[in-house]
């Protein structure tokens, strides 16, 4: 799967590039009236995650239109523990979460959003990242999404090579869950 994130994000300034996920919708000119502020009605991954498709509504004339946002950046490189460097791969994150989330109430869209969020976070660091950073970013998001999936993933994620970090996460989670006991079925 080719995953080069490039091409045009014609309405994003250099400062906005790399933060497209958090982009509120300003400066997108309405095709009908030319007004440059719009409301995002819906966002979803497109082109196998290489782009974000947004339905927008002009704040002035209410015309609805669609934009595709593509990240116009060099790939983010991940430094592996072995010393190898490889481009960040969203699909790898999604695939890695597949088994952890099996049978859990987590949708494909959830996973896609999570991977995109991780990629954005890594991109915003502005340089190469380590596999441990990626693992940590995944874990933080997965914990909010589903605690069971989080624990499963944490125990198998090979890139998460800081054992002490993992132990700290588990301890934090245990404290949290102990504070609000679950009902037994
Ligand atoms: Zn308009």
Distance 155 CA to ligand 1 centre (A): 50
Q: Residue 12 CB: number of other CB atoms within 10 A?
A: 19
Nearest to 73 by CA among 17, 111, 32: 17
Query: How many residues in total does the chain contain?
Result: 185
Distance 67 CA to ligand 1 centre (A): 14
Distance 44 CA to ligand 1 centre (A): 22
Q: What end-to-end distance do the CA atoms of the chain give, in Å?
A: 43
Distance 37 CA to ligand 1 centre (A): 8
Distance 65 CA to ligand 1 centre (A): 9
Q: What is the pLDDT of residue 168?
A: 62
Q: What is the pLDDT of residue 177?
A: 60
Distance 94 CA to ligand 1 centre (A): 37
Going residue by residue through the chain, which has 185 residues, state the pLDDT in tens, using 9 for 90 and above.
233 333 333 334 444 444 444 444 447 888 899 998 899 998 888 766 667 889 999 999 999 998 887 766 667 889 887 888 888 888 888 888 888 899 999 998 899 899 988 988 888 887 789 988 888 899 899 999 999 898 888 777 644 454 455 566 566 666 666 655 555 54
Cβ within 8 Å of residue 111, ≥6 positions away: 93, 94, 97, 98, 101
Distance 64 CA to ligand 1 centre (A): 8
* Sign of the four-CA dihedral 80, 82, 84, 86: negative
Distance 59 CA to ligand 1 centre (A): 7
Q: Is the pTM of this model over 0.85?
A: no
Distance 31 CA to ligand 1 centre (A): 7
Distance 68 CA to ligand 1 centre (A): 18
Distance 9 CA to ligand 1 centre (A): 20
Q: What is the pLDDT of residue 126?
A: 73
Q: What is the pLDDT of residue 9?
A: 35
| Contact of 33 with 24, CB cutoff 8 Å | no
Distance 93 CA to ligand 1 centre (A): 38
């Amino acid at each position: 799967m080719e995953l080069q994130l490039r091409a045009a994000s014609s309405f994003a300034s250099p400062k906005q590039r790399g933060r497209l996920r958090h982009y509120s919708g300003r400066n997108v000119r309405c095709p009908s009236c030319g007004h440059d502020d719009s409301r995002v009605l819906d966002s979803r991954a497109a082109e196998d995650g290489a782009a974000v498709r947004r339905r927008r509504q002009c704040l002035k004339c209410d015309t609805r239109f669609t934009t595709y946002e593509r990240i116009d950046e060099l790939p983010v490189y991940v430094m592996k523990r072995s010393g190898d460097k490889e481009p960040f791969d969203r699909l790898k994150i999604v695939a890695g979460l597949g088994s952890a989330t099996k049978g859990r109430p987590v949708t494909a869209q959830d996973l896609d959003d999570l991977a995109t969020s991780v990629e954005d976070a890594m991109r915003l660091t502005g340089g190469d990242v380590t596999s441990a950073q990626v693992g940590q970013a995944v874990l933080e998001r997965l914990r909010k999404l589903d605690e069971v999936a989080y624990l499963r993933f944490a125990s198998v994620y090979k890139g998460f090579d800081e054992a002490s970090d993992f132990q700290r996460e588990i301890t934090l989670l245990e404290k949290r869950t102990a504070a609000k006991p679950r009902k037994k079925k």
